[in-house]
């Protein structure tokens, strides 16, 4: 099963992915935890280029192609082999980030982004996508205060981040694999909601047994 985490800056995705991975592992599942752009040595090198604040001149299509290149490498080197081994794969951002940021934010058409997404993922679509919602202003404030250096994408304008947020909300309206989670609470409050959704889906898919508890504290 492929589970992706999406959302604007400051929604706490990486914390949530890490907490979920730990919780599922404690229940005996083998879990792969990845992030985009990244997840392989080559993709991490591409990440450095994308996020370097020096690269202010980067053209929107160059940006899209680099995110897609990093994705292609991660899918072929890690995601497909893990899924073939029946390992649960959790990814912090995946193809929908390109639709939200390079589509919604930069204005590249959905047709172009989706075509490239299909090409680099080999048509792979997540089984479940959790959208951690937080409004753009609050998210950016949280991002600025979390002590990590602001990268080239974090440093885009508030208007850009609002367009990204809007595109995410549009995509989530499609329903299906999308589940929206309010990310305004504390990390453990948000994690409880995340775990509830994921555990139900894993039980429905027969990956977890129905009598296994939803969380450590229950
Ligand atoms: P993060 O690891 O802090 O979420 O940083 C990733 C940044 O890259 C974030 O600003 C979103 C952006 N991004 C895109 O613009 N397009 C993409 O396809 C992906 C995966 C990320």
Span 99-158, pLDDT tens digits: 999 999 999 999 999 999 999 999 999 999 999 999 888 888 888 888 888 999 999 999
What is the 36 CA–ligand 1 centroid distance (Å)?
7
pTM for the model stands at 0.95
CA separation, residue 152 to residues 38, 100, 123, 148 (Å): 16, 16, 29, 13
pLDDT tens sequence across 175-185: 999 999 999 99
The answer for residues whose C-beta is within 8 angstroms of residue 66's C-beta and 6 or more apart is 37, 46, 49, 50
Shortest-distance Cα residue to atom 21 of ligand 1: 97
* pLDDT on residue 212: 52
**Structure-model confidence comparison of residues 180 and 213, the more confident one:** 180
Shortest-distance Cα residue to atom 9 of ligand 1: 153
């Amino acid at each position: 099963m492929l589970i992706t985490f999406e959302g604007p800056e400051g929604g706490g995705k990486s914390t949530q992915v890490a907490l979920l991975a730990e919780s599922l592992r404690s229940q005996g599942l083998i879990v792969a935890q990845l992030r985009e752009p990244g997840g392989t040595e080559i993709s991490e090198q591409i990440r450095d280029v994308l996020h370097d604040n020096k690269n202010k001149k980067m053209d929107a299509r160059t940006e899209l192609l680099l995110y897609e290149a990093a994705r292609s490498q991660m899918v072929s080197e890690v995601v497909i082999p893990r899924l073939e081994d029946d390992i649960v794969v959790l990814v912090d951002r995946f193809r929908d980030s390109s639709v939200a940021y390079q589509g919604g934010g930069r204005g590249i058409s959905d047709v172009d982004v989706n075509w490239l997404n299909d090409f680099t993922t080999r048509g792979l679509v997540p089984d479940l996508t959790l959208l951690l919602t937080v409004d753009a202003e609050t998210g950016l404030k949280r991002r600025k205060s979390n002590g990590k250096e602001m990268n080239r994408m974090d440093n885009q304008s508030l208007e850009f981040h609002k367009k990204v947020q809007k595109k995410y909300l549009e995509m989530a309206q499609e329903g299906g694999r999308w589940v929206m989670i309010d990310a305004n609470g504390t990390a453990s409050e948000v994690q409880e909601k995340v775990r509830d959704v994921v555990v139900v889906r894993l039980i429905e898919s027969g990956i977890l047994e129905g009598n296994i508890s939803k969380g450590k504290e229950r």
